[in-house]
Amino acid sequence: MSAPVRKVADKQKVEAVGGEVLTVPQLLSRAASTAGPGVLWIFLFLVLPMMILLVYSFLTRDELGNASLPLTFDNYVRFAGWDVLGYDAAYLVIVGRTIIVSLVTTFFCVLIAYPLAFFIAGHEPRTRDRLMVFVIVPSWVNLVIRTYAFMIVFNPSSPVTQLAAALGFVKPGDGLYPSDFAVYVGMVNIFLPFIVLPLYSAVERIDWSLLEAAQDLYATKTQAFFQVLIPQTLPGLVAGIILTAIPALGMFVVPDLLGGAKTSLIGNAIAQQFGQSRDYPFGAAISFLVMGLTLLVLYLYSRRVGEQGMRDLL
Amino acid sequence: MTPLELLEAWSGVLIVLIGLFAIWYFALRRFQVRKASKRLSLTAFLAFGFLYLPIIVVAIFSFNNSRFRLDWVGFTWKWYAKIFGDESVEGGLEGAQLLLATQNTLVLAVISTIIATLLGALLGYGLHRYRFPGSKLTAWLMYIPVVTPDIVMAISLLLLYQVLRVVSPIFEPGLPAMVIAHVTFQIAFVAIVVRSRLATLDPALEEAARDLYAGPLDTMRFVVLPLMLPGVMAGALLAFTLSIDDFVISFFTSGPTSQTLPILIYASVKRGITPDINALSTIIVAITIIGVFISQILQRNQKA
């Protein structure tokens, strides 16, 4: 709640934001007639599906490929590596790879986003708005389109690939894709705007007089940068990292198009269970693990920054 | 793998990493000057170049006179002619398929945006105004679609539909199911935007209206609604672009006749890129950019 609800002298009544004094039933009926349908929608199509996901993850796949009883932990056990054929940590390897890809992507996004945010914040307000639009526009171009553009950029005959071949990074005649490198480039390209947005609004709020104070106290440039400026951008940085690292965990289009068979990530594993493999319970188990991680991060974040701070996410 | 091989395999990444860090560090060392330094400008320029690289590449290759190859052959307009109905051009997608996908994308975006804007604006208003059982939880839940990976939302909705299919045929894969899925993530974005807009408003304005004997409906009609309208419009615009842009959630909830443009593009990329996809993408990008500029101009006029 953005503004506190004041207690009114009459104990039976409460004051809503905006100064209206209402009885409790009145308040409830007003709330139900405004927020009601939205709350209902969110519980029906957001919360209920998450619960169904959990239930599905304990079901068993029958001979016809349908989800059925009995309830078991088998899907999670299989995910951890114990299958009928013996121990195989294939899915744990995918998890590890996904986490690495997500972290590396986030790292590069932060690296590129910082100078960009400082650059934009260094302009006068009107230019700033325009530059921010420039940052956002690519994120409105479809993900699939932007991803396959890199298939063109990295195909064997492109200038980029030939330059890489001349420098010895790839064999002449080979493409730069499919490869881990192509996946990283694609991922960074797609997630960069998401991290620039919150970071920029943090940089814009920087109190530059603190920098002068630091310099008066003989801080070196590096000291001042890391101890005065960077800490002030932390809220934006954390929001940006959440907005990149978590969605990156479930990304499946980029590795699907730009990665080879070896670059399968959790997202691809989930998609496979709901596509070719038709093993919904197992797919639900993997999805639920990602969902659980997301909820955990979101919960810890909201505990830390409070409700006002969560606005940094959007 | 020996450590040496590992180092060799990662050397490319490592070099790029060190290089970027060097650029980053030197660019930012000049932060003291609030005016952008040359190094900072150069880095920003490269970053913008990187962001726009895919868009530019797609646009260039939409004029490529080759049916299958990914390298440059020669200039042609024929892929655009094909998209606008020239049946004599060989290769690429069927015109009817393309038309249907465009139609589906727009119908889906318009219907879901209308529903989401209505429900989301009311939700944002209700959450701002009243504290009721579950209001705090709902405010928190709204951030789930903002953060959760698309595929997880898509899968959970797909499973919900499997269960609800018994109740009603609208949960069969197809447009109605896709509309529900889109509204689910759009509603959260609209409500958050509207709610933050309302939080910036001065509550005294409403009190003043009441002091001047405006009834609750009049206060709503003449004071609150005009003030929250920019937030509602911004939310609606965001919801619309999110719907147009969505691939993953549509992909898992669509039926055979409800393909949207992103799904069509994905399917043809999987089969092998065809140049008319480049042309189609370029047209979509051009419309997007023109739309952005129009909304920018409208906003500027509003401010002035």
Domains and CATH numbers, chain A: 89-313 (1.10.3720.10)
Residues of A in contact with B160 (CB under 8 A): 45, 48-49, 52
Of A63-77, A176-190, A195-209, B181-195, the one with minimum mean pLDDT is A63-77
Q: Is B73's pLDDT higher than 80?
A: no
Q: What is the pLDDT of residue A1?
A: 40
Q: Burial of B154 by CB count in 10 Å (0-12 exposed, 13-18 middle, 19+ buried)?
A: buried
Closest CA to B155 of A284, A79, A248, A143: A284
Higher pLDDT, B99 or B123: B123
Residues A184-229: tens digit of each pLDDT: 999 999 999 989 988 988 888 888 888 888 888 888 878 888 888 8
Q: What is the DSSP string of chain A?
A: --SPPPBPSSTTEEE-TTS-EEEHHHHHHHHHHHTHHHHHHHIIIIIHHHHHHHHHTT-EE-TTS-EESPP-SHHHHHHHTEETTEE--HHHHHHHHHHHHHHHHHHHHHHHHHHHHHHHHTS-HHHHHHHHHHHHGGGGS-HHHHHHHHHHHTSTTSHHHHHHHHTTSS-TT--S-SSHHHHHHHHHHHHHHHHHHHHHHHHHT--HHHHHHHHHTT--HHHHIIIIIHHHHHHHHHHHHHHHHHHHHT--HHHHHHS-GGG--HHHHHHHHHTTS--HHHHHHHHHHHHHHHHHHHHHHHHHHHHHHGGGG-
Alpha carbon distance A266, A263 (integer Å): 10
Query: What mean pLDDT, rounded, does chain A reach?
Result: 82
**Backbone dihedral region for residue A86 (phi beyond 0: left; psi -120 to 50: alpha; all else: beta):** left
Higher pLDDT, A235 or B291: A235
Alpha carbon distance B180, B112 (integer Å): 7
DSSP single-letter state for residue B258: -
Q: Is B1's pLDDT higher than 50?
A: no
User: Is A298 within 8 Å of B188 when comparing Cβ atoms?
Assistant: no
Alpha carbon distance A101, A141 (integer Å): 23
Residues A146-195: tens digit of each pLDDT: 888 888 888 877 777 777 777 777 776 677 778 888 899 999 999 999 89
> Among A3, A49, A133, whose Cβ lies nearest the Cβ of B157?
A49
Residues of A in contact with B142 (CB under 8 A): 42
Alpha carbon distance A75, A88 (integer Å): 14
Residues of B in contact with A253 (CB under 8 A): 247-248, 266
Report yes or no: B221 and B154 within 8 Å, Cβ to Cβ.
no
Alpha carbon distance B160, A50 (integer Å): 9
User: Is B71 within 8 Å of A251 when comparing Cβ atoms?
Assistant: no
Q: What is the pLDDT of residue A4?
A: 47
B26-47 core/surface letters (b: 16 or more CB in 10 A; e: else): ebbeebeeeebbebbebbbebb
Query: Which of B152, B170, B284 is the mutation pick for testing A, counting most A CBs within 10 A?
Result: B152
Query: Which of B151, B170, B224, B241 is the mutation pick for testing A, counting most A CBs within 10 A?
Result: B151
Sequence spans of domains, chain B: 3-61, 95-273
Report yes or no: A217 and A228 within 8 Å, Cβ to Cβ.
no
Of A25-39, A194-208, B24-38, B159-173, the one with minimum mean pLDDT is B24-38
Q: What is the CA radius of gyration of chain B?
A: 25
Residues A242-299: tens digit of each pLDDT: 989 999 988 888 988 888 767 788 888 888 888 887 888 888 889 999 999 899 988 9
Report yes or no: B258 and B172 within 8 Å, Cβ to Cβ.
no
Put simply, the chain B residues between 248 and 277 with a CB less than 8 A from any chain A CB are 248, 252, 261-262, 265-266, 269, 273, 277
Residue A3 — pLDDT band, cuts 50, 70, 90?
A: very low
Residues 6+ apart with CB under 8 A from B203: A3, A17, A18, A19
Q: Burial of A55 by CB count in 10 Å (0-12 exposed, 13-18 middle, 19+ buried)?
A: middle
User: Is B44 within 8 Å of A119 when comparing Cβ atoms?
Assistant: yes
Higher pLDDT, A26 or B36: A26
Query: What mean pLDDT, rounded, does chain B reach?
Result: 80
Element (H, E) at B105: helix B95-129
Mean pLDDT of A97-124: 89
Q: Which fold has domain B95-273?
A: MetI-like fold (1.10.3720)
Q: Is B14's pLDDT higher than 70?
A: no
Antiparallel, parallel or unpaired: β A67-68 and A82-83: unpaired
Residues of A in contact with B145 (CB under 8 A): 46
Structure tokens at B78: 């024929």
Residue B88 C-beta-side C-alpha neighbours within 13 Å = 2
Prior bond of A178 cis (ω within 30°): yes
Q: Is B111's pLDDT higher than 80?
A: yes
Q: What is the pLDDT of residue A202?
A: 87
Q: What is the pLDDT of residue B66?
A: 72
User: What's phi and psi for A264, nearest 5 deg?
Assistant: -65, 130
Residues of A in contact with B158 (CB under 8 A): 274
Percent of all residues in chain B with a pLDDT value above 90, rounded to a whole number: 15
User: Is B57 within 8 Å of A45 when comparing Cβ atoms?
Assistant: no
What is the residue type of A91? Y
Closest CA to B123 of B179, B182, B193: B193
Alpha carbon distance B170, B221 (integer Å): 35
Mean pLDDT of B162-167: 86
Residue A83 — pLDDT band, cuts 50, 70, 90?
A: confident
Closest CA to A196 of A207, A184, A188, A208: A188
Q: Hey, is B260 helix, strand or coil?
A: coil
Chains A and B: how many Cβ contacts under 8 Å?
335
Mean pLDDT of B266-286: 80
